[in-house]
Amino acid sequence: MRDVLSFAELMLSREGGFLPFGGAMRQDGALVPVAGYDGREYPPPVDIIRLIKDGFIEAAQRGEFKATAVVYDVRAKIPGTEEKSDAIEISLDHRDDYSVIVIFPYKISDGKPIIGTAFAHKGEADIFRRDK
């Protein structure tokens, strides 16, 4: 998570935002950056997320990865308040039946992202599916 969060912060500093992207951990622990491209110059972010997740699902079925992360820029409601904030959302999945979404609220100040207190909730568990 640390690596993909760092890249998201870098993109916020440089560009003020970012398109969805991913990262995966191979069986040997090596980290792999992942991007989604469908040929369109400005595809909707939801289409990029689906493309990345579909690729992760196929790779997981082949046993290539032990963990994946999909990262996207969102507006999130801060728990315990009615306040909404820009946020980096990271959907993490692990082959050992672990899935969580971690949300990092942020604001841009003097061209740099200031990351707030993270919060999390249960993930979708849609990458390393187990047929029951």
- Which residue has 């690729």 as its token pair? 55
Tokens at residue 84, please? 């909404």
Collapse the DSSP code of 75 into the 3-class scheme (helix H, G, I; strand E, B; otherwise coil) and give the result: strand
Q: Supply φ then ψ for residue 37, to 5 degrees.
A: -145, 130
Cα 125 from Cα 66, distance rounded (Å): 13
pLDDT of residue 100: 98
pLDDT of residue 130: 63
pLDDT of residue 42: 85
Model pTM? 0.93
Per-residue pLDDT of the chain (132 residues; tens, 9 = 90+): 999 999 999 999 999 999 999 999 999 999 999 998 888 888 899 999 999 999 999 999 999 999 999 999 999 999 999 999 999 999 999 999 999 999 999 999 999 999 999 999 999 999 998 653
N-term to C-term CA, the chain? 28
Tokens at residue 111, please? 């061209």
Compute the mean pLDDT over every residue in the chain, rounded to the nearest whole number: 94
Q: Which amino acid type is present at position 108? A: I
**CA 67 distance to own-chain centroid:** 12
pLDDT of residue 37: 85
pLDDT of residue 126: 94
H or E element: which one contains 106? strand 98-109
